[in-house]
């Protein structure tokens, strides 16, 4: 599946939740590939992982309700709330670093706020990255 195929798929009924969910829709500031597509290691039968970031609604910002992330297991899609992304970035979380480092042609949505995050990801990187990526690599090795 190439990028054009992915774009068409994202516009299909299967992905209507991206447009219709109260936490997503116009709140999505970044939408991109994850997993093997993000790394360029995908093969013909690779599953499609979609990752993104959405800003919280006023209710969440005021603490009246909670939104940390949205998951759709059928399509392997995860959209993180911006506040959660910031916390994970401060801890150099590998999944979030991946999300902000995907290739430009893999960006299906990237508004001015998504661009601001991508342009400043280096502000969040620290020596913690050694431990977070080391721990991630060790966990992956144990799964083998």
Question: What is the chain's pLDDT, residue by residue, as a tens digit (144 residues)?
Answer: 899 999 999 999 999 999 999 999 999 999 999 988 988 888 888 999 999 999 999 998 888 989 999 999 999 999 999 999 999 988 888 888 888 889 999 999 999 999 999 999 888 776 665 565 565 566 666 777
Residue 49 and residue 37 in contact, taking contact as beta carbons nearer than 8 Å: yes
Residue 13 and residue 78 in contact, taking contact as beta carbons nearer than 8 Å: no
Question: How many domains does the chain fold into?
Answer: 1
DSSP strand E in the chain: where? 28-34, 49-54, 69-72, 77-81, 109-110
Query: Domain limits at 41?
Result: 3-143
Residue 32 and residue 58 in contact, taking contact as beta carbons nearer than 8 Å: no
Cα(101)–Cα(119) distance, integer angstroms: 10
Q: In the prediction, which pLDDT does 69 show?
A: 96
**CATH assignment of the domain containing 24:** 3.30.460
Cα(138)–Cα(62) distance, integer angstroms: 38
Q: How many CA atoms lie within 13 A of 12 on its CB side?
A: 9
Closest CA to 9 of 29, 37, 27: 37
């Amino acid at each position: 599946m190439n990028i054009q195929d992915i774009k068409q798929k994202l516009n299909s009924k299967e992905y209507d939740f991206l447009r219709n969910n109260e936490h997503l829709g116009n709140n999505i500031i970044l939408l991109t590939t994850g997993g093997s597509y993000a790394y360029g290691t995908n093969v013909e039968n690779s599953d499609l992982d979609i990752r993104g970031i959405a800003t919280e609604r006023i209710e969440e910002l005021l603490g009246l309700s909670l939104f940390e992330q949205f998951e759709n297991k059928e399509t392997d899609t995860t959209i993180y709330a911006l506040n959660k992304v910031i916390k994970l970035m401060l801890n150099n979380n590998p999944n979030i670093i991946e999300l902000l480092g995907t290739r430009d042609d893999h960006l299906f949505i990237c508004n001015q706020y998504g661009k601001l995050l991508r342009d400043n990801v280096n502000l969040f990187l620290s020596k913690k990255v050694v431990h977070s990526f080391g721990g991630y690599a060790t966990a992956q090795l144990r799964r083998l």
